[in-house]
Amino acid sequence: MEPDLFTAAAEERQEKDPSSSPLAVRMRPRTLDEVVGQQHLLKPGSPLRRLVGAGPGGGPGPAGPSSVILWGPPGTGKTTLAYVVSKATDKRFVELSAITAGVKEVRAVIEGARRAAGGFGRETVLFLDEIHRFSKAQQDSLLPAVENRWVTLIAATTENPYFSVISPLLSRSLLLTLESLTDEDLKGLLARALADERGLRGSLSLPSDAEAHLLRIAGGDARRVLTALEAAAGAALDKGESEISLQTVEETVDRAAVAYDRDGDQHYDVASALIKSIRGSDVDAALHYLARMIDAGEDPRFIARRLMISASEDIGLADPTALPTAVAAAQAVAMIGFPEAALTLSHATIALALAPKSNTATTAIGAALADVRAGSAGPVPSHLRDGHYQGAAKLGHAKGYVYPHDVPGAIAAQQYAPDAVHGKRYYEPTRYGAEARYADVVEKVRERLRGE
């Protein structure tokens, strides 16, 4: 790490008075062995072990450690792992945040790394937090340094790197996926924070019901659980209590942490889960995901658009009222907004989840599009072509066309599709819900069109 004067002063103050730092900072692991969870990334010989020089291959050479991209939800230890590397390695360590740094800062780090390597033979580890905030051009500026191993990059992101990190950088790095911490992981972290000299030093106890509530509101986030513990501990000490009661936890922390980022991966994952729950007719799961989106402040118009798509994609003619219901919900949501829009979205979600399902509208247009894109189109039959303009009759346009309303039943036996797809059946109705009626009708209509 290469701290500036102010960073060095802050670190010196924290060493003299650890209580000046948040509990989550004070309890940050000092070695990889203290890291909670992520054991799949910390096995002997793993890239992270090699970065800190632990075990064979930890040093420089042709099989030196690769650059890594750490991808995972907030509070799973991305910054912690980089911090451990900075403390444990004898390599030069530089930290940048994509929020404040730009190409100029990246180039300065790379130039410094080249000088350190050439003049002193020291390798440089660059930790870049929130790499997904870098533009394509900014990420491009890292490529030469990573490719030539002027720096070993540790990049952290909460967003899917396949969408947020450029392919050349991905191909030159190892992608390590961090998992949300389990309740057992967080229990161990709480126990350590309660007893450790860097934490609460055994000054308070934590009953099981209060612990369970802390785990519930943490949502697998280590930083969140320690922040909540610190707030509850402060309140308990102020009241002169020797334990952190459930009531104290509830008073200091009133909401659970919901893993949802409106601009990130969770935006699409939760939306996908909502639609798949509706498709699967699990109304309770659908309402759960809807609640997560509402609580996170998702745009209600986005939710309504997804419901309209679901009405045609997964329900279709099995319940012809599904699409009008979804459209009406979208119109109402646009007019009233939150918080009342939650009621309308709930109304529509329940109706769609419990509606009979049919995806025939989806498969029918998919099959038709596949034929068109494969070249099965051909000219429009001449009797169907526009015959209104001057000269159309000479070309034979509209000649022989039978006006359906002029025949009994209003179905004329004539060819409508081009020759290339004449007789092709795209719509295959189910017998679910109201579509059973269409199944009977379509066969009779096809027979009449064939003149049978």
Q: What is the pLDDT of residues 208-254, one digit of tens each?
A: 988 988 888 887 788 888 988 998 998 899 889 999 998 888 888 76
pLDDT (0 to 100) of residue 7: 45
| pTM greater than 0.75 | no
Q: What is the pLDDT of residues 282-292, one digit of tens each?
A: 888 899 999 98
Q: Are 215 and 187 in contact (CB under 8 A)?
A: yes
Residue 322: is its pLDDT beyond 90? yes
pLDDT (0 to 100) of residue 56: 40
Residue 126: is its pLDDT beyond 90? no
Q: Are 63 and 57 in contact (CB under 8 A)?
A: yes
Grade residue 265 by pLDDT with cuts at 50, 70 and 90.
Answer: low
Q: Are 317 and 358 in contact (CB under 8 A)?
A: yes
Residue 4: is its pLDDT beyond 50? no
Q: What is the pLDDT of residues 23-75, one digit of tens each?
A: 888 888 888 888 888 888 888 877 777 777 644 434 444 455 678 899 888 87
3-class secondary structure, 44: coil
**Cβ neighbours of 290 (radius 10 Å):** 26
3-class secondary structure, 122: coil
Q: What is the pLDDT of residues 374-401, one digit of tens each?
A: 888 778 788 777 767 766 676 777 777 8
Q: Cα separation of 234 and 204, whole Å? A: 10
Residue type, 391: G
Cα→Cα distances 252→232, 237, 341, Å: 6, 13, 29
3-class secondary structure, 20: helix
Q: Which residue has the tokens 């612990």?
A: 211
Greater confidence (333 vs 88) lies with: 333
Q: Which residue has the tokens 């894109």?
A: 373
pLDDT (0 to 100) of residue 55: 42
Q: Which residue has the tokens 């320690």?
A: 226
Q: Cα separation of 267 and 272, whole Å? A: 9
Q: What is the pLDDT of residues 323-365, one digit of tens each?
A: 999 999 999 988 887 788 899 999 999 999 989 899 989 988 8
Q: What is the pLDDT of residues 419-431, one digit of tens each?
A: 778 888 888 888 8
